Structure 1
Amino acid sequence: MVQVQAALPWTWHRDGAMPRDDETLPERVRRKEDLLSASQRKIARYCITQPREAAQLTALRIAEKLGVSESTVVRFAIRMGYEGFPDMQAAIRRAAEQRAATQVAGTTSPRDGRVHSSLRGDLDALTQTVESLDYQALHDCAEALHGARLLHVVGFRSAFGLAYTVEFHLRHFMNTRLIGAVGGTVLDDVDLIGPDDAVLAFTFPVYDERSLQAVEQATAVGANSVVVTDSALAPIPIDPLVRTLMTRYETQTFFNSAVAPSAIANALVLRLLELSAKKDRGLERRLYDRFQRQRTT
């Protein structure tokens, strides 16, 4: 008896991989990320973040935009399990069409209503933050922090993630320290704030007293502070040494969205990097190269 083997949802490819026919490019990239070269990672990132361009441009044009060879783009498509670049491009187009079909205006289901409203709220908060940002105030805040001997970064509760991320980036080109990074040392950390230091605090409702203590200590010893918060009514010391950056911090449920505060934090980190790069012209290039090496190892 002749047995007919059922068609499998995947096909063999020359690199031995077995991608499913319905597997998207992002899924394939995640599965094969460790096998990609630095140039191929660059192509992957471009195709995933710029699907409209990737679906229209030729392999040569994409190669020119990314500074790689056309053959590298083609090899990337094959490495991802496609028959070639046209096959990958067709898959990117199909994925974009499927997304568009499910995102037609006015078709949000009742199940997704609150999620949609939350996303729109984040977008509105971000738009309002950009439109209302006082760029001179941002510059003044960066100047106040940049000249410090040691920058103490503080944030607790929902603001801890912001404080941690900002301090992680700043430590690569400034002398920084995260208050409360080791459990039970907050009071000791605050006592170490000196007159030549500065404090960068993130505090939102509920305003955590530990963050406010750091600002009060800085003010008491004559050190500058910058506080990223949501309201002029926040219980922050009123003093010429204390500067504030206001941003929206609200949502539709029990937790608050950090989208707008994160944007302000990123802008502040960028301004501090620019100030540091004025004294060290090669700083940003070295930092970029370092992170690229870490990403490809």
Structure 2
Amino acid sequence: MELCLAVSPGELTRAEQKILDYINTNTDAFLFSSIGQLAQRLGLSDATVSRFARHVGCADFKDLKSMVVEQAAGPAAKIAETLSRDGAFSPAAWLERQQLYLQKTARQLDEAEFNRGVEALVSARRVFLHGKNASSSLARMLAFRLGRLGLQVSLLPSGGSELLEGLLQAEKQDLVVMFSFSKLSREGRVILDYSRTAGYRTLAFVSRTCIPPEERADISLFAYRGEEKEYHSMAAPTALLDLTVLAVTSRLGARGTESLERLHRLKTDYFPMG
């Protein structure tokens, strides 16, 4: 990155230019360094680093880090912002924050839309699931859960021409489920666009409340994952998936429980010791 400062690089001392160069070229390492670690790494004193922070318009070293986070992009910056928000990292505080995310998700839950999603899953001839990057784990979990209930489920390749080959199988009476949290991916655009030709329905798990019409799936289910520059948690999306599976199980009634019973009998016959 190239850090934008309130002063020009020419106004910095040689030591301060050394600090700036390190931030620009080792942003991730800087974000996870204490003032002492940074000073030692650069062969400077803590006081020199503190003076640099004040010279560029920051109150202190912590404020300097916040400025870098604001201008940086990528997962390291998000994690650093999350860890520094409440001072020293606390597992208990982090878990309490996940409770807040769940509460926000619950407040935003549109029960009518949720029920539409459940009905779409139950009534679909086949369910195709698409997840990319971290969301691929959610797609796999949902495929596992729905498959155990006897639904016909297929995982779509994450991208490239292989996605098109998988999507080509989706037709009317099918449902394509996608995960489109912070933004709509290129693959997500393909899924939505091709639905107009193939006639399948779409269901999207999202973390945005305001979505342009051209980026909207037929059904959208919201899960809160944190603020834009935070580490994006999967706690609420996972809970929403569990809720969806339980609702689908209830909606299927005997059909779903029979599938689970058949699976149990197979396990008993072939793997009696577990």
On whether the aligned pair clears a TM of 0.5, the verdict is yes
What does 1:41-190 correspond to in 2, within 5 Å?
Answer: 111-113=88-90, 115-172=91-148, 173-180=150-157, 185-190=162-167
User: Structure 2 residue aligned with 1:228, among 188, 193, 205?
Assistant: 205
The alignment partner of 2:89 has SS state of helix
| Residue type at the aligned position of 1:170 | L
Structure 1 position 154, deviation (Å):
0.8
Are residues 280 and 163 of structure 1, via their aligned partners in 2, closer, same or farther at CA, if it must alter by over 3 Å?
A: closer
How far apart in 1 are the matches of 2:214 and 2:249?
27
Q: Is the 8 A contact 2:132 2:158 kept in 1?
A: no
Q: Is the 8 A contact 1:155 1:211 kept in 2?
A: no
> In angstroms, what is the RMSD of aligned CA positions?
3.2
| Residue type at the aligned position of 1:220 | T
How far apart in 2 are the matches of 1:182 and 1:259?
25
Are residues 117 and 226 of structure 1, via their aligned partners in 2, closer, same or farther at CA, if it must alter by over 3 Å?
A: same
- Mean Cα deviation higher: 136-145 or 181-190: 181-190
The TM-score with structure 2 as length reference comes to: 0.58
1:255 and 2:231 matched: yes
Structure 1 position 126, deviation (Å):
1.1
User: Structure 1 residue aligned with 2:245, among 246, 255, 269?
Assistant: 269
Question: Deviation string for 1:69-123 (max 9, x for gaps)?
Answer: xxxxxxxxxxxxxxxxxxxxxxxxxxxxxxxxxxxxxxxx96434x444322211
How far apart in 2 are the matches of 1:135 and 1:121?
24
Count residues in correspondence: 187
> Higher relative CO (CA 8 A, sep ≥ 6), structure 1 or 2?
2
1:198 and 2:175 matched: yes
Q: Is the 8 A contact 2:159 2:187 kept in 1?
A: no
How far apart in 1 are the matches of 2:244 and 2:200?
19
User: What is the aligned partner in structure 1 of residue 190 from structure 2?
Assistant: 213
- Mean Cα deviation higher: 247-256 or 264-273: 247-256
Percent identity over paired residues: 18
How far apart in 2 are the matches of 1:150 and 1:168?
14
- Segments of 5+ residues of structure 2 without an aligned counterpart are 1-85
How far apart in 2 are the matches of 1:295 and 1:127?
41
- Segments of 5+ residues of structure 1 without an aligned counterpart are 1-108
Are residues 156 and 176 of structure 1, via their aligned partners in 2, closer, same or farther at CA, if it must alter by over 3 Å?
A: same
Q: Is the 8 A contact 1:125 1:260 kept in 2?
A: yes
Are residues 274 and 180 of structure 1, via their aligned partners in 2, closer, same or farther at CA, if it must alter by over 3 Å?
A: same
The alignment partner of 2:171 has SS state of coil
